[in-house]
Structure 1
Amino acid sequence: MLNYEAVATFILIFVRASAFLAAGPLFFFPSVPRPFKAFMAFVLAVVLFPVVPGVKQDFPGGLLGFALAAAEEAGVGLVLGFIASLVFQSLAVAGQIMDIQMGFFMANLFDPAMGHQATISSRFLYLLGMVLFLILDGHHVLIAGLARSYELVPLTGAALDGTTTLAVIKIFARMVALAVQIAAPVVAVVLIIDICLGLLGRTAPEMNIFMLGFPLKIALGILTLSVMVPLFGVVFRAMVRMMEQNLYTVIRGLSG
């Protein structure tokens, strides 16, 4: 005989896992086939099903109540996936800030892998962060965070209040500040170049400062970025720990 409580529990687990993967950093790329995303969510649901407490069969409102419960689980998964992806979005924003200063911002290209317009440094830092994320076993952190969410936020037991919303806003602001900090060395070098070119333009007005400054900013900006790349391992290790802390902060907030 079919156990309806077990079926309902599995569906809700699958919905939260699917939303988490859809909004998370690993399967964010539109180029990843949707059947593969669904298959990975199904595998996670199968693995987590034995350890997740079940739900009662009787939902208020019948089928409509179950649909609302599924929507609630999708919301929890989307929030957690969004928080996890902010680390990578901070890298993309840092790359855009660098490109604005170096003069690469006009070279926006549609990136089919990311699904939107992206600059050169933005794509480079995002893909570099993805490689470092896998090397540092960040995907294990994501899976552990998702599994922990079922323990702290039981199925149909999420509570969204002002404290959780404020925590999400603070995390978002922290990621923006992190993007500015990552881009700060390139911005500082380009600012020094602008100051020097301004002084040179005052002392030698006959020189074409614009034509001289454009390749100079690009060359020194790329040189500064190449010096920063070996340090990204240490920086990104701290960012993975920050992502883990952010996930558990939001999970505790959703648990009420």
Structure 2
Amino acid sequence: MISLIPLESVPAFLLILVRVTSFFVTVPIFSYRNIPSFFKIGFGFFLAWMMYYTIDIPVIPLDEIFLLLLLKEAAVGLLIGLIAFIILSAIQIAGGFIDYQMGFAIANVIDPQTGAQSPLMGQYLYTIALLFLLAVNAHYLLIDGIFYSYQFIEIDRFVPFENESIVTFVMSTFNKMFVIAFQMAIPVVGSLFLVDVALGIIARTVPQLNVFVVGLPLKILVGFVILFVSMAIYIMLVRNLFDLLLQTMRGLMQLFGGV
């Protein structure tokens, strides 16, 4: 028999449900638009149902404090998923750097997660990264992240959002995102910079050669060759990036919990 939730515990279950479903709104993989909303809501409901029986649930009355707790749970779920999305966005930013050097900056594709235009190579590298994360069952670790968030952020406690350390942590996460994106793009960008230097020297020594006609296909060819050669390095960087993602989520939850 499937045990039902006691009536006095329904507010606590609603708080769990709000945090889980808010987490699925922004976290990578689960927040994709091509995943049906009914699936997200249903998966969040059953996950919240299982979590209800595995964490300590206090009795929460239905009063004005409950409404504030609902807002707190929604903000916590959104921010934890958003910090994970920010870290993985480094891949698309690196692809934007590569596109600008290869001449693909004018060609964009639609990102299925946000519905906005994204760089061509950025979406290509991002798709490879997501396939790698799914292959190593990294999406289970994302679900573990929202499950273990209750060890740091209790369901009946408020979060000190006005804490300056939280703002500093988010700003440092942005800085890390751009540094990682630059590190991922530097093999291709650096090689194409050398190609530009070589084309500039050729243009000065052989004025009869139209470098504008030769340069674009040459840079595309060199860019693809460097990407093919350095693909193993990208997979290693994606693995390290996901480790950083989990550490960032844990650090944010510790700040939310006042640890």
Counterpart pick for 1:58 among 61, 70, 86: 61
Report how far residue 234 of structure 1 moved: 1.9
| Cα distance between partner residues in 1 of 2:250 and 2:51 | 18
Counterpart AA for 1:75: A
| Cα distance between partner residues in 2 of 1:154 and 1:119 | 40
| 1:42-62 residue CA offsets vs partner (Å, 9 max, x unmatched) | 121011111222233335xx2
| Cα distance between partner residues in 2 of 1:230 and 1:2 | 49
Counterpart pick for 1:218 among 206, 217, 220: 220
Number of matched residues? 253
Counterpart AA for 2:104: F
Q: Which residue of 2 aligns with 1:208?
A: 210
3-state secondary structure, aligned to 2:230:
helix
Q: Which residue of 1 aligns with 2:74?
A: 74
| 1:85-112 residue CA offsets vs partner (Å, 9 max, x unmatched) | 2232111111111001100010123344
Q: Which residue of 2 aligns with 1:97?
A: 97
Counterpart AA for 1:109: V
| Cα distance between partner residues in 2 of 1:4 and 1:177 | 50
User: So what's the TM-score if we normalise by structure 2?
Assistant: 0.92
> Is residue 245 from structure 1 mapped to residue 247 from structure 2 by the alignment?
yes
> Is residue 22 from structure 1 mapped to residue 17 from structure 2 by the alignment?
no
Counterpart AA for 1:90: A
- Contact 2:24/2:81 (CA < 8 Å) preserved in 1? yes
3-state secondary structure, aligned to 1:118:
strand
> Is residue 86 from structure 1 mapped to residue 89 from structure 2 by the alignment?
no
Counterpart AA for 2:200: G
- Aligned CA RMSD, in angstroms, stands at 1.7
Counterpart pick for 1:9 among 12, 25, 29: 12
Counterpart AA for 1:137: N
5 Å matches for 1:86-235? Answer: 86-112=86-112, 114-157=114-157, 158-160=159-161, 161-235=163-237
Q: Which moved more, 1:114-123 or 1:37-46?
A: 114-123
| Cα distance between partner residues in 2 of 1:169 and 1:245 | 15
| Cα distance between partner residues in 1 of 2:166 and 2:102 | 38
| Cα distance between partner residues in 2 of 1:242 and 1:175 | 10
Counterpart pick for 2:39 among 20, 24, 36: 36
- Contact 1:5/1:54 (CA < 8 Å) preserved in 2? no
User: So what's the TM-score if we normalise by structure 1?
Assistant: 0.93
Q: Which residue of 2 aligns with 1:45?
A: 48
Counterpart AA for 1:152: F
- Contact 2:60/2:156 (CA < 8 Å) preserved in 1? no
| Cα distance between partner residues in 2 of 1:91 and 1:58 | 45
Counterpart AA for 1:205: P
| Cα distance between partner residues in 2 of 1:87 and 1:95 | 14
Percent identity between matched residues is: 30
Report how far residue 4 of structure 1 moved: 4.1
